[in-house]
């Protein structure tokens, strides 16, 4: 087995599921710390700020800091600052919650533009309204670049699967006639930026998660090894006839470092 130096770890379905703790996931993080291995929580959740992620992890028995958290909100900001052309400030229309809003508005390079933004950025919004969809679709039809923070169609929760940001983006895509560029998993964009943040080569890293469609495909798309744990969305039966992850376990206790 490779001597992996960086573990890119999913949260929902891997460390916790809703309010419930996945104890083997917590023990896995503790084992990484004891072994001196570096890790980064690579979540697709944009509803929380990095500080909120740290607080939630603490409730589940993981003590960490914001330097070990990377979200699609952070990656979207970095992507736009790197790729946006033209004069500053960059006009954006945001759909999303505090995790997305706070990340953008702490950068003076961006300004809110509801009329003719350069970019429409869509993150999970549990207060999504018809008006927000209309404004976003109109802007995209008028030339704004459509960015989706992640393509998750569903989210695991205590109440079962909930509609995810991919479902929101699908509605806007159908209305506007344009598909979004996705930043979060399974896009290689967020993985590339996470590796750069941690100064790690892809051959030295492994993606850990419960969702074949996001976590594992992110590894395929970025040539980073994958560790699928069946404590969340994807089960063994779901892997039949598909490209196999590098490793599959039913508990992270079973993965030897």
Calculate the average pLDDT of the chain. Answer: 95
CA distance 169 to 125: 11
When pLDDT is cut at 50, 70 and 90, the band that residue 38 belongs to is very high
CATH fold label, 85-182: Rossmann fold (3.40.50)
Summarised one tens digit per residue, pLDDT across range 146-178 is: 999 999 888 766 777 789 999 999 999 999 999
pLDDT, residue 23, reads 98
Two tokens, residue 233: 């969305």
When pLDDT is cut at 50, 70 and 90, the band that residue 206 belongs to is very high
Does pLDDT of 21 surpass 80?
A: yes
pLDDT, residue 85, reads 76
Find the distance separating the first CA and the last CA of the chain, reported in whole Å: 9
Q: Peptide bond preceding 69: is omega within 30 degrees of 0, i.e. cis?
A: no
Q: pTM of the full predicted structure?
A: 0.93
Q: Decide if 222 contacts 203 (C-beta within 8 A).
A: no
Topology agreement, domain 6-44+185-254 and domain 85-182: yes
pLDDT, residue 144, reads 97
Angle at which helix 165-176 crosses helix 130-141, to 10 degrees, equals 50
Q: What 3-state class would DSSP assign to 206?
A: strand
CA distance 164 to 150: 9
Rg over CA atoms, the chain:
18
Q: Where are the domains of the chain?
A: 6-44+185-254, 85-182
CA distance 161 to 196: 32
3-class SS string, 67-108: HHEECHHHHHHHHHHHHCCCCCCEEEEEECCHHHHHHHHCCC
CA distance 13 to 231: 6
Does pLDDT of 13 surpass 80?
A: yes
Q: Peptide bond preceding 186: is omega within 30 degrees of 0, i.e. cis?
A: yes
User: Architecture of 6-44+185-254 per CATH?
Assistant: 3-Layer(aba) Sandwich (3.40)
Two tokens, residue 16: 């916790």
Nearest residue to 8 (alpha-carbon basis) of 208, 150, 192, 228: 208
Q: What pairing do the DSSP bridges indicate for beta strands 225-229 and 247-249? A: parallel
């Amino acid at each position: 087995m490779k001597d992996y130096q960086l573990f890119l770890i999913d949260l929902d379905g891997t460390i916790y599921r809703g309010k419930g703790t996945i104890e083997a996931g917590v023990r896995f993080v503790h084992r990484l710390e004891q072994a001196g291995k570096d890790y980064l929580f690579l979540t697709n959740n944009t509803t929380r700020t990095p500080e909120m992620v740290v607080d939630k992890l603490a409730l589940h028995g993981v003590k960490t800091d914001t330097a070990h958290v990377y979200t699609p909100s952070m990656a979207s900001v970095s992507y736009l600052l790197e790729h946006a052309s033209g004069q500053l400030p960059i006009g954006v229309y945001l759909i999303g919650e505090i995790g997305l809003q706070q990340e953008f508005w702490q950068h003076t390079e961006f300004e809110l533009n509801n009329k003719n933004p350069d970019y429409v950025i869509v993150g999970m919004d549990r207060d999504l309204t018809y008006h927000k969809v209309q404004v976003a679709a109109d802007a995209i039809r008028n030339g704004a670049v459509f960015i989706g923070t992640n393509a998750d169609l569903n989210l695991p929760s205590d109440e079962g699967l909930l509609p995810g940001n991919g479902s929101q983006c699908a509605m806007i895509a159908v209305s506007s006639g344009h598909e979004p560029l996705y930043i979060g998993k399974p896009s290689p964009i967020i993985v590339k930026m996470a590796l750069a943040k941690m100064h790690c080569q892809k051959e030295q890293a492994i993606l850990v998660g419960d969702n074949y469609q996001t976590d594992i495909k992110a590894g395929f798309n970025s040539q980073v090894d994958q560790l699928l744990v069946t404590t969340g969305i994807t089960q063994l039966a779901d892997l039949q006839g598909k490209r196999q992850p590098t490793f599959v376990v039913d508990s992270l206790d079973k993965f030897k470092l």
